[in-house]
Homo-oligomer: A and B are copies of this chain.
Amino acid sequence: MKKDNLIWTEKGRKQVFDCRVFSVWESYCKPPVSQSDQDEPLVFSVIDAKDWAIVVPVIENAGKKQFVMVWQWRHGCHCLSLEFPGGVFEPGEKPQDAAARELYEETGYKPEKITKLGEFSPNPAIMSNKVHFFLAEDLKNHGKQNLDKDEYVEVVLVDVEEVSQGMGKPPYIHALMGTALALYCQTTVC
């Protein structure tokens, strides 16, 4: 699609902050040419972080579909959150492998089948990284988490319907879990 009236041009960028999890850049951009004769670029702040995966693990339990989910503490909201498993890619790791690894580490479940559901910018207004979504099926429970030091994760099975109805209210407070649910619902009746 051609939308020259909306496209900005980046003239340069500079790192202005860095920490373990992300860095912040100033991006110097000129507005869409056809709508402005302004000469100086404007400054936009962009957060760069590693790509990561979110996995929707589905099992059938007594005729009901359930998600394998994780309780964990989140330092941004300073609150508990009930989420799909996931985590950042290791260097050189394929998205699908990262998804399966994170699922196994956080929950002890290994998938026989893993399918890409979609790929998003978590917040393209200010973030440059990507979040990749996967569906994990035919799960085998190996019964043992493999958590990082200082990682505290509690595994639970939750009915699909409960998650679907609960989104947007505690403990389903992580917006990107809503994204994951929307993608899952593309594949089946929710």
Contact = CB atoms under 8 A, between A and B. Distances in A.
Contact of A80 (B1, B17, B117, B180): B1
Given A120-B168, A185-B182, A80 B7 contact: yes
A163 to B, nearest CB: 10
Interface string A44-65: 1111010000000000000000
Interface in A97-143: 117-128, 131, 133
Interface residues of A, number: 74
Interface in A1-24: 1, 3, 5-8, 10, 16-17, 19-22, 24
B45 A22 contact: yes
A175 B27 contact: no
Interface string A65-89: 0000001111111111100000000
Given A178-B178, A179-B178, A168 B117 contact: yes
Nearest to A26: B19
B154 A118 contact: no
Nearest to A10: B78
Nearest to A82: B1
Given A19-B24, A47-B76, A185-B190, A175 B6 contact: no
A131 to B, nearest CB: 6
B76 A127 contact: yes
A96 to B, nearest CB: 15
Given A122-B123, A165-B186, 6 more contacts: A22-B47, A46-B75, A76-B123, A77-B128, A121-B173, A121-B175
8 contacts: A6-B71, A6-B154, A21-B45, A36-B150, A47-B76, A76-B127, A122-B122, A178-B179
